[in-house]
A and B are shown apart, each in its own frame.
Chain A
Amino acid sequence: MSLKEQQNLLARLYTDSDLREKFFAEPDKIGFDFNLTRREIAEIVEIAPQELDFFAESLFWKRLREAEKFIPLTVKILGCDFPPLFRQFSQTFNPQTVRKHLEDALEFCRFLQKGEVSEIALNVALFERTKIEFFGYGKRLAFCKLAFEIEPFLADNRTENLKRKQKFAVWIKLGNKTRHFYI
């Protein structure tokens, strides 16, 4: 038995729901792609699918809960669209550093820029992404160009009547002091 090949497949099954579905539909096909023998495939097939699914789901929700701590405003503005969007994102990205949750949050904001979310949500995500880059990665200067005045949303989560206006949100570190302003 080759535990290494089995673990390669398991790690993917735990983190990729599409592959999980395909595996349970055609275990041999996927198993052979991972260089498993029939017997090794059978050992994974024997795992109760509902147990495997539940474990994978628990991993997904843990990951989401950790990432959302870094992007509370983006989560708020996306509302119930956040979990399905994060699920889509999670299939495409596997964080590799020790700061995996921060990395997830940052990449999720980048991922949103490619998707179909409202322009205001894009602005909020861009704002938080820049903030993460500044605080999380020790930059001395970070800024982003916003298309809306998002301050009312930052203050009390109000999204109505946000004015369209180009602004730069800026974070700068001078000595030990951090300044944040708009121009």
Chain B
Amino acid sequence: MKENNRISKTEDQRPKTRIGLGFREPFRADIFLNQDKIDFLEITTDHYLDAKPEKIEELKLLKEHFPLVPHSLELSLGSAEGIDEDYLEKIAEIVEFVKPEWFSDHLCFTRSGGVKIGHLAPVPYTDESLKVFVRNISKVKKRISAPFILENITYLMQFPSSQMRESVFISKLLDETDCGMLLDVTNLYINARNFGFDWRRFLDEIPLERVVQLHFVGLHKHKNLLIDAHADKTQNEIWDVFGEVVKRCDLKGAILERDENFPPFNEILEEIETARNIISNEFEGTAKPVGAALHG
């Protein structure tokens, strides 16, 4: 991080980084029982689209008790065929209902030519892909006024046709779209290990002042590959990346993103507490860059 991006902060300027949890149904009762330990929740928008009345009631209840940030899965911002207007409209309705500080989706494509891939697929890092993202994101921003932040995904394959590194691609994209970033530190670590690059260099190359929120969760080992199964306890190597990121930037929030293999809830709370402690410890005596994406 360049020196001129740093400012000193006094205690009363200390950013309040909220630590929260991705809401999943099995957590419901425990979340309400432990409301004082969870600063905010991330909801998966897709769980509330065309939903039964019970789910809508659930969303209302969550909204009454927690600050919420919506996280969508299928905007398919990297689709060269463009944005699915119907889906965008539905996301817009959820965001308008929740009135969040920000909402997010992923740097990927999930459909093309009538085929839904079913998960987040990478794009080649080329000028053409960049144009596609810029065009699609501008459509989203035109329809939804809440700040939009973009998440880095894991990929199990690389495109030799890429013209730039992922970090450079993301930097250009954030600059051109004026979006914030949802930095998934687990995804970053997994990609760095699977494809042999230095995650610290990645951090050096992205505009950290645009990082608004983090995702963290444990990685999963499958033979000689690391996978984002969202099913494991956060390991020390992920906490290292987490610590480095919080040292370098002002965050609005961090979300534990556990989807599978749910442990007893006290283990979830312990991880939230660990994240909170890392942030408190890192703040002591450490200056950070100015957060820009959501502060301007």
Contact = CB atoms under 8 A, between A and B. Distances in A.
Interface of A: 1-4, 6-8, 10-12, 14-15, 43, 46-48, 51-52, 54-55, 58-59, 62-63, 94-100, 138
Contact of A7 (B79, B116, B126): B79
A79 to B, nearest CB: 22
B196 interface: no
A96 B74 CA distance: 11
Contacts of B49: 98
Given A11-B113, A98-B46, A58 B121 contact: no
A96 B118 CA distance: 9
A22 to B, nearest CB: 16
A94 B157 contact: no
B156 A51 contact: yes
A5 to B, nearest CB: 8
Contacts, number: 91
Interface stretch (B14-22, B158-166, B249-257): B158-166
B115 interface: yes
Contacts of B270: none
Given A4-B81, A7-B79, A46 B160 contact: yes
Nearest to B129: A3
A14 B116 contact: no
Interface in B124-175: 124, 126, 128-129, 132, 155-161
20 contacts: A3-B123, A4-B80, A4-B81, A4-B112, A7-B81, A7-B123, A11-B113, A11-B121, A15-B115, A15-B118, A43-B161, A46-B159, A47-B157, A48-B158, A52-B157, A55-B157, A62-B118, A95-B116, A98-B50, A98-B87
Nearest to A138: B52
B156 A3 contact: no
A59 B117 contact: yes
Q: Is the interface of A mostly helix, strand, loop or mixed?
A: helix
B38 to A, nearest CB: 25
Contacts of A59: 117-119
A3 B116 CA distance: 16
A43 B124 CA distance: 10
A8 B118 contact: no
B109 interface: yes
B112 A99 contact: no
B119 A3 contact: no
Given A15-B118, A100-B118, A138-B52, A7 B113 contact: yes
Given A47-B160, A51-B156, A59-B119, 20 more contacts: A7-B123, A8-B112, A11-B116, A11-B121, A12-B113, A15-B115, A15-B117, A43-B161, A46-B160, A46-B161, A47-B157, A54-B156, A55-B156, A55-B157, A58-B227, A59-B117, A62-B119, A94-B116, A95-B116, A100-B118
A58 B225 CA distance: 12
B109 A7 contact: yes
A100 B115 CA distance: 12
Contacts of B90: 98
B230 to A, nearest CB: 11
A99 B115 contact: no
B111 interface: yes
Interface string B72-89: 001000011100000100
A7 B112 contact: yes
Contacts of B74: 98
Contact of B128 (A3, A11, A51, A96): A3
B112 A11 contact: yes
A133 B16 CA distance: 46
Contact of B117 (A1, A3, A14, A96): A14
Nearest to A54: B156
